[in-house]
Structure 1
Amino acid sequence: MEPGLLARRTAMAPLLEYERQLVLELLDTDGLVVCARGLGADRLLHHLIRLHCHPACLVLVLNTQPTEEEYFINQLKIEGVEHLPLRVTNEIASNSRYEVYTQGGVIFATSRILVVDFLTDRIPSDLITGILVYRAHRIIESCQEAFILRLFRQKNKRGFIKAFTDNAVAFDTGFCHVERVMRNLFVKKLYLWPRFHVAVNSFLEQHKPEVVEIHVSMTPAMLAIQTAILDILNACLKELKCHNPSLEVEDLSLENAIGKPFDKTIRHYLDPLWHQLGAKTKSLVQDLKILRTLLQYLSQYDCVTFLNLLESLRATEKAFGQNSGWLFLDSSTSMFVNARARVYRVPDVKISKKVKMSEKMEIKEEQGQVLICASDDRTCSQLRDYITVGAEAFLLRLYRKTFEKDSKAEEVWRKFRKEGSSKRIMKSNKRAKTSQNKERASAKEKTLKKKKPRLTLTQMIEKSEELEKEENVEEDHRREISSSPESCFEEIKHEEFDLNVSSDAAYGILKEPLTIIHPLLGCSDPYALTRVLHEVEPRYVVLYDTELTFVRQLEIYRASRPGKPLRVYFLIYGGSTEEQRYLTALRKEKEAFEKLIREKASMVVPEEREGRDETNLDLVRGTASTNVPTNTRKAGGQKQNGTSHSIVVDMREFRSELPSLIHRRGIDIEPVTLEVGDYILTPEMCVERKSISDLIGSLNNGRLYSQCISMSRYYKQPVLLIEFDPSKPFSLMSRGALYQEISSSDISSKLTLLTLHFPRLRVLWCPSPHATAELFEELKQNKPQPDAATALAITADSENLPESEKYNPGPQDFLLKMPGVNAKNCHSLMNHIKNIAELATLSQDRLTSILGNAANAKQLYDFIHTSYAEIVSKGKMKK
């Protein structure tokens, strides 16, 4: 929140009745809490953090963002907590982190740091009171948190694990998703708190705010445009199904297509096959994205912005010569015609008064502090401009800014608007005198409202007198503009409409009454709107755009302040995709909770799930593979070799899943900062791991070549590991590349050149991290273990070279080209001579003793000492 709005800072409201009930249950038994969006998962986490802010406790908090951590710490500071949580980041040296942990309290730390500290015993595992996990639905995707919990439970059997999430829809994908999450969390209790829970519903119904739903009717042009877009969208979906019969038909419905998660759904199905898809399918996916954007712009922004997007789409298609098929449909023509009609023709007065912004202007006449919430910064900026300068001036300024290069377009616009204005005046003159008086009075009131000074939050405190003087000058212009439709165009023509509003302000503010415009999404601080809500304490809240999470937050805000009135206005286009999108989000969350309730009823949870004893098989380290040979002559194969295997791993590799899988197979991990390689399997084997994107980038910028030089210099067995992601597409060659000429820019060509330059380099292709971990275990069989200190001492400029790499590679290559010299005797020859000049002085007998082979020595001696003339005279070489 911007400084200066309010001097006081309000603490978080106390827990509600049903929240206290949930906290008591959670304190009694560890578990996973799944609550509805906006019902206060962050409030529960905040309360548990506050309970453990004491030096006698040591509680770790996982999966939080820096902005969230800062919010929790500030709230605890406001509430007067003495022992505030600490944040462990890269700024704290590794040697001093143990002292930070032993101070106790609550610790916010990044997952990579915690993994390394657990592996190196830098954190006192036996002293940890417990772990709190936020956004628990991501525990399977974010492998580091699951690794931390497994390390914690292996070393600490008494500490608690409590997890929270407010995304029930995330558990609706995959087979037994919630059960797999609980298995990784080591909890056996599932707490479900949907909005329709009896305790939640009964309590919030007793303290519900006054809700006013305003269903704004869409104009005929908007309805026609929406119908056209939906028709085109449906046609694209049908064509996509025809080209890809394997796609789920239910997910490709028109109802799901207008929802926000549709892009993720379609990419989920097509990403693994993206490189195999034809150009038509890829074009259809792009068209679906464009059409969804058009639907959003139709209900979100003004007519000028929507037309500008349409015109830019058509201009782009013409410029690149790649026309989408939907541009030639009849629905597309209807969409363009109606979009232009909205800009170049003045609609009827009765219809124009029903748009969302006009409704909001009437709501603004309420007395009391008003909070207006829109979806993003752009919408907030347009609302602020609409309130301050009026509809006509706002649209004209926006039109000039958008189409300023097209002078003919402005002339046409003025012509149509003037004709429409004259028709509207003639039509209004036929009305009764009483209705004219009412309209004049209403216009006068709205003009007075427009004359309120406009200030941002910072400007309210600073330079207020100076800005008020500037506002008085602009008020005169607005009074002239509002006097008549004809004079409107004459005055606007010579005015720039400089609003003096800070462009980087997070939200706008208007005085008398205090009116704040704030975006729902897109803020760098996720709790910015929550702060505004609790500090301003508005009497009225206007939802220009509906967002499920904030609607629930308003319910909790009203319930936590009994006796204080709150009226919420819902502005929504009736029968629009905007309304359908909101209803679909509600329905999907309800269905997700119903599915979770059924799964909980039939779920079989083993008694050892929490891992508080040694019976949990998930905590057992060791390979489950049957391919590893076992000596059955000793105790029937039960007695295994006591040698522990280890791998030296670079610190940066802990962002991937591979270290966790290696550790799970019973191989110890030694985390150090390596300059050469990523994994040291044996004293002679070094592995450089590359994902597909990293491989392409390293080949293009030459970094991989430098890394291969370093590995080949210091290790006898350099290895390049190329690891695939099963959910991401990749192919070395495209479908038509086999019929094209070989190019040096191709990935396959660069890999071929790399193997030619480094004959000892081995390339491993692994389809997943699980396959890589199994391959590493097989490569380490019957091999010595690496030394972390030795691997750490090897740098790009290190002088500790192996025996085979003590010499300059240039002369080595030169020697190997000579007759009689090969890879077996080359190093022996270099150990006995200083340079090539000394080699020319050696006798044949001396060469025989060095090379150990008389035939090789004779070939080398003859090559050096036979003159060119002798070779020509013998006819062995042509002139």
Structure 2
Amino acid sequence: MDIPIHLTLSYQKKIFNEVINEDGLCVMAPGLSLLQIAANVLAYFAVPRSLVLLVGANSNDNELMQRELEEELGKTLQIVNTETMSVDKREKAYQDGGIFSVTSRILVMDLLTHIIPTENITGLVLLHADRIVSTGTEAFIIRLYREKNKTGFIKAFSDDPERFLMGINALSNALRCMFLRHVFIYPRFHVDVTESLEKTPADVIELNVDFTDSQKSIQSCLLSCIEATVRELRRYNSAYLDMEEWNIDSALHRSFDVTIRRQLDPVWHRVSPKSKQLVGDLSTLKFLLNALISYDCVSFLKILDTIILSVRTGGFSSNAQPSPWLMLDSANTMIRIARDRVYRSPTGSMDEYYPVLEEQPKWSVLRDVLEEISHENILHESNDPEFSTNSILIMCSEERTCLQLRDYLSTIHYDTKESFKMMNSRLMDYFHWREQYRNMSNSISKIERNSKEKQNTPETSRKGAPASKRRRVRGGGIAASRSTTESNLAQDNFSKDIRLEKLLLSQISKSTYTQEENESFEVLSDTNSIYIYTYNYEMDTLLLNSLRPRFIIMFDSDPDFIRRIEVYKATYPQRATRVYFIYYGGSVEEQKYLYTVRREKDSFSKLIRERSNMAVVLTGENERFEGQETKFLRNVNTRIAGGGHVSVTNEKPRIVVDLREFRSSLPSILHGNNFSVIPCQLLVGDYVLSPNICVERKSIRDLIQSLSSGRLYSQCEAMLEHYEVPVLLIEFEQNQTFTSPPFSDLSTEIGKSDVQSKLVLLTIAFPKLRILWSSSAYATSLMFQDLKSLEKEPDPAVAASIGLEAGQDSTNTYNQAPVDLLMGLPYISMKNYKNVIYSDVINIQDACEVDERKWSELIGPEAGRSLYTFFRKKLKDYE
């Protein structure tokens, strides 16, 4: 049979052949055209009447796969989500066969409800296999697929080797979760990859740019602050943190602070407030390091001022302290240097300040590169798709950098100092921001003074003494006056700067010269344009193929994009490509780049060793032949009632689950614990365990929101009306702290707005409501097993019909997202939301435009008038 592939490079063909011949997990280095290989695998199996499913693809993946399949391979990729296909259309499309990219939530429900014929599925192609965990929806899909289909293929792809090394036996667990045995590993240093990419290399010019002296000093100060913060974390949490191999390079890794937080999550309730603050400080300091590279001097100073003002104005609780790193000498030095980059005085006199507005060193290098390109002798311009165009592609790491470069490039033709116009504009915006802060601070102070004056009116106290002669309370002066003192300090410092701002603004207005800009327009050719984009992973491949740029300027470093250029140049050797790689030598940018490359290489080396030492992975093929005794005991359902009896059944215990709950991991764990999970559109409750027991599951965040909006009250009221045993399940996340906020974190007086108070009021309002606290979804599964042991099985049809009005059909479903948004509106409750759904209001936009009379007819006069006013309330009131 002819293989319909569109692969040019030899390593791509080798990976394709290995994946086709054996089911397995393919781990590749980022940037080596993973999606192109996956698309060819899909096309290879897409014979007539076959059904091939793509799982785990995001919107960008779908776009790229669709282009590759349709334009290069002559196949069609059908994307299935809530907007593209209804249930009836999906069922018919599955029967006809083809290639489908289905969202995980829809696919798991289609498998459970038998909309998709599981036995007829040809196979699954899994993208982002590194994200598949045993409790996730993707693992649930694979398990459902393997239960009824033992012959279909499973092909998994990933370009993140580090994730397969997190934890003990992570690679083996991942393979077992995907029912796979084989692993194909292709790093950048693989022999076949190296030979393919180095035949026709691109012309690369590295431009090592030096930091300014002020940037070097600020970087040194920030690194000192990070080191001190980590040292404090280690001192306070040596029993919880594994930081033996820590060094300053690892602290620069993008997930360093996330890794520390993940280690502390299980004991977060035992961690001191100071340690929690230190974890947050790490993220702040890493952000400042990145801002030093990518932000201009004015924007960087504005960020520092924001951090300082948040402390000075009392933006922390009464028990907390300012961030420790702000008290270091290096922090004070950094703040002083950051201000000197924007404006300074050579003598220290207030009358001699002048704007400095230090440029980013990369800007002048970029200007020189563009001048070099423009002066290069271009022999001819070609529109032939086999050759490159004369376009210039500038790649950045952030959208802010793109806008910054756009402003810079749009002004360099009009001013003698290239960034003069742009930086002056930013400095004026900065002063405008300071003025807004002063006005806001004055307004708040005025309100506080008026409030104190009202409280200090001469009234007689309980013992007859005037209110002005208050009794002094021990220890009451420090905590009460601290935020006021800090606020006054910040206000005084900003008030002193008013004169400085006026002086600098006058200098800016004098030095700014006006020049008539050419307002004529002309149509530019696409082949001579400058494009500025941010790195967007696999979408960068599409960008290179569509623009065919001759000149590529990497303004920020990114190892993944370098490989994409290598693949692009090896695929199209006839296209002339020159790459300018601009980076700050001796800076954290260079260290992060080198550390990322080294860490990836080490990850692949460890992955290769683990594969060689890994025991044989037992998959579904080995486990499908269960002993009859084990199967019998697993399906024995013991119920002791009355005189006691044991009933033996071949059916699994049933649990009816609401469709919205498939966003969580609990349905997957229930299925893995031998429950029969039946998805239904439930109007009352989330899980129906029996005709008598209904469970409403709430995560901590959802619990707080539901208590605040009053939705939980309506849900409990509905459960109590239709079920004998209503249950509220409060479920924590796996490996997260299993405790409510300690009372030490609460205010001195528990108010009505506290979660504890609202839960107490809820139990008082519904005495029959049972509350279950679960540490994880695993614990919830065991609880459900115990709750169902003495109960009858629920009827899905009855559970779906509860809450419906007379004559209403339970099969008439509606889009859940708009309904959830509708339920989140004030004055909409469980009692009146159906009036809106079944009226002539088509969507949320129509709901916003409904008049007051219509709302009164739908939800009542008072609620209708209030909701109508809510839709038309201004977001901000101006004085």
Alignment of 1:228-267 (within 5 A): 228-245=221-238, 246-250=240-244, 252-267=246-261
The answer for the alignment partner of 1:871 in structure 2 is: none
Alignment of 1:211-226 (within 5 A): 211-226=204-219
| Corresponding residue for residue 790 of structure 1 | 798
Q: Which residue of 2 aligns with 1:662?
A: 670
**Greater mean deviation of Cα atoms: 199-208 or 575-584:** 199-208
Distance in 2 (CA, whole Å) between partners of 1:731 and 1:496 is 66
The residue matched to 1:320 in structure 2 has which SS? coil
Structure 1 pair 102–799 and aligned structure 2 pair: CA distance change class (3 A): closer
- Note closer, same or farther for the CA distance 1:602–1:335 as it changes in structure 2 (3 Å cut): same
Q: Hey, what's the Cα distance between the residues in 2 that align with 1:133 and 1:61?
A: 6
Task: Name which of 189, 196, 199 aligns with 1:203.
Answer: 196
1:186-220 deviation per Cα after TM superposition (whole angstroms, max 9, x unaligned)? 11000110111111112212222122111111111
Q: Is the CA contact (8 Å cut-off) linking 2:24 and 2:184 kept in structure 1?
A: yes
1:180 is aligned to 2:176: no
Instruction: Report the Cα offset of residue 317 of structure 1.
Output: 2.3
Contact 1:58/1:105 (CA < 8 Å) preserved in 2?
yes
Residue 534 (structure 2) aligns with: 519
**Aligned residue among 21, 37, 40 for 1:28:** 21
1:530 aligns with 2:536: no
1:834 aligned partner: none
Q: Tell me the equivalent position of 2:267.
A: 273
CA contact (8 A) 1:53 1:85 kept: no
Which of residues 716, 730, 733 is equivalent to 1:725? 733
Q: Residue 68 of structure 1 aligns with which residue?
A: 61
Shift of 1:273: 3.1
2:566 is the alignment partner of 1:555: yes
Q: Which of the residues 366, 377, 402 maps onto 1:360?
A: 366
Worse overlay, 295-304 or 332-341 = 332-341
Q: Structure 1 pair 332/759, CA: closer, same or farther in 2 (3 Å)?
A: closer
Aligned residue among 103, 106, 115 for 2:99: 106
1:492 aligns with 2:512: yes
- Partner residue, 1:584: 595
Contact 1:678 1:686 in 2 (8 A): yes
Distance 1:705 1:84, change over 3 A: closer
Deviation string 1:223-256 (CA, Å, 9 cap, x unpaired) is 1111111111111111111121121124653222
Q: 1:609 aligns with which of 612, 619, 625?
A: 619
Please give the alpha-carbon distance, in whole angstroms, between the structure 2 residues aligned to 1:353 and 1:765. 56
Conservation of the 8 A alpha-carbon contact between 2:5 and 2:73: no
Q: 1:716 to 1:353 in 2, by over 3 A?
A: closer
Amino acid at match of 1:402: Y
* TM-score, scaled relative to structure 2: 0.73
Asked whether the 8 Å contact 2:297–2:358 carries over to 1, the reply is no
SS in 2 for 1:652: helix
Q: C-alpha displacement at 1:643, in angstroms?
A: 5.0
Deviation, 1:375, is 1.1
Q: Distance in 2 between matches of 1:728 and 1:616?
A: 35
Secondary structure of residue in 2 paired with 1:286? helix
Q: Structure 1 residues 269 and 628 mapped into 2: Cα distance closer, same or farther (>3 Å)?
A: farther
Normalising by structure 1, what TM-score? 0.73
Residue 88 of structure 2, aligned match among 79, 90, 95: 95
Structure 2: distance between partners of 1:32 and 1:710: 47
CA drift of 1:284 comes to 1.7
Following TM superposition, by how much is the alpha carbon of 1:626 offset from its aligned partner in structure 2, in angstroms? 12
Aligned residues: 698
2:712 is the alignment partner of 1:704: yes
In structure 2, list runs of 5 or more residues that go unmatched: 317-321, 347-356, 377-389, 412-417, 436-496, 809-879
Worse overlay, 529-538 or 56-65: 529-538
Q: Hey, what's the Cα distance between the residues in 2 that align with 1:284 and 1:497? A: 51
Task: Report the AA paired with residue 368 of structure 2.
Answer: E
Call closer, same or farther: CA 1:775–1:316 in 2, change over 3 Å. Answer: closer
Cα distance change on mapping 1:707 and 1:312 into 2, 3 Å: closer
| 354-363 or 22-31: bigger deviation | 354-363
CA displacement, residues 637-663 of structure 1 (integer Å, 9 cap, x when unaligned) = 9x9444542222211111222222222
Q: What is the identity, as a one-letter code, of the residue corresponding to 1:359?
A: V
Map 1:429-828 to 2 at 5 A.
Answer: 492-493=512-513, 513-521=528-536, 528-606=539-617, 609=619, 611=621, 614-615=624-625, 640-642=648-650, 644-729=652-737, 731-736=739-744, 740-795=748-803, 797=805
Please give the alpha-carbon distance, in whole angstroms, between the structure 1 residues aligned to 2:612 and 2:640. Answer: 43
CA deviation profile, 1:12-32 (whole Å, cap 9, x unmatched): 973411010010011000100
Report what 1:306 is aligned to.
300
Among 155, 159, 167, the residue aligned to 1:166: 159
Query: Corresponding residue for 2:453?
Result: none
The answer to whether residue 161 in structure 2 is matched with residue 146 in structure 1 is: no
Matched, 1:397 2:425: yes
CA contact (8 A) 1:718 1:761 kept: yes
Amino acid at match of 2:425: R
Tell me what 2:130 maps to: 137
Contact 1:53 1:84 in 2 (8 A): no
| Cα separation, partners in 2 of 1:733 and 1:219, compared to 1, 3 Å | closer
Farther-moved stretch of structure 1 (760-769 vs 17-26): 760-769
Deviation at 1:82, TM superposition (A): 5.1
Shift of 1:338: 2.0
The RMSD of aligned alpha carbons is 3.5
Give the aligned partner of residue 374 of structure 1.
396
- Distance in structure 2 (CA, Å) of the matches to 1:272 and 1:144: 23
Q: Tell me the equivalent position of 2:342.
A: 343
Answer yes or no: is the 8 Å Cα contact 1:120–1:670 preserved in 2: yes
Identity across aligned pairs (percent)? 37
Structure 1 residues 209 and 747: CA distance shift in structure 2, 3 A: same
Q: Kindly tell me: are residues 532 and 604 of structure 1, through their superposed partners in 2, closer, same or farther at Cα, counting changes over 3 Å?
A: same
Distance 2:735 2:136 in 1: 15
Show CA shifts across 1:750-806 (max 9, x none).
223322322322222222212221222222224321111111111165699xxxxxx
Q: Tell me if the contact between 2:402 and 2:533 (Cα under 8 Å) persists in the aligned partners.
A: yes
Question: What displacement does 1:57 show?
Answer: 1.5
CA, structure 1 residues 496+652, in 2 after alignment: closer, same or farther (shift >3 Å)? Answer: farther
Structure 1 distance, partners of 2:551, 2:5, is 20
Larger Rg: 1
- Cα–Cα, structure 1 residues 629 and 403, in superposed 2: closer, same or farther, change >3 Å? same
* Contact 1:139 1:181 survives alignment (8 Å): yes
- Which amino acid counterpart does residue 770 of structure 2 have in structure 1? R
Equivalence for 2:828: none
The aligned counterpart of 2:52 is 59
CA distance 1:694–1:353, change in 2 (3 Å): closer
Task: Tell which deviates more after alignment, 695-704 or 101-110.
Answer: 695-704
Shift of 1:576: 0.2
Mark the runs of 5 or more structure 1 residues left unpaired by the alignment.
Answer: 1-10, 418-488, 502-507, 632-636, 801-879
Q: 1:312 to 1:779 in 2, by over 3 A?
A: closer
The separation in 2 between residues aligned to 1:111 and 1:71, in whole angstroms, is: 19
- In structure 2, the CA distance between the partners of 1:210 and 1:799, relative to structure 1 (3 Å rule), is closer
Secondary structure, aligned partner of 1:539: strand
Counterpart amino acid of 1:301?
Answer: Y
1 CA distance for matches of 2:195 and 2:405? 36
Query: 1:412 deviation in Å?
Result: 5.4
What does the per-residue CA deviation read over 1:495-518, in whole Å, with 9 as the maximum and x for residues that have no partner? 7999999xxxxxx99988432211
Deviating more after overlay: 399-408 vs 169-178: 399-408
SS at match of 2:656: strand
Secondary structure of the equivalent of 2:793? coil
> What secondary structure is seen at the aligned counterpart in 1 of 2:572?
coil
Q: Deviations over 1:407-453 (max 9, x none)?
A: 74456558999xxxxxxxxxxxxxxxxxxxxxxxxxxxxxxxxxxxx
Check the 8 A contact 1:132/1:161 in 2, yes or no. yes
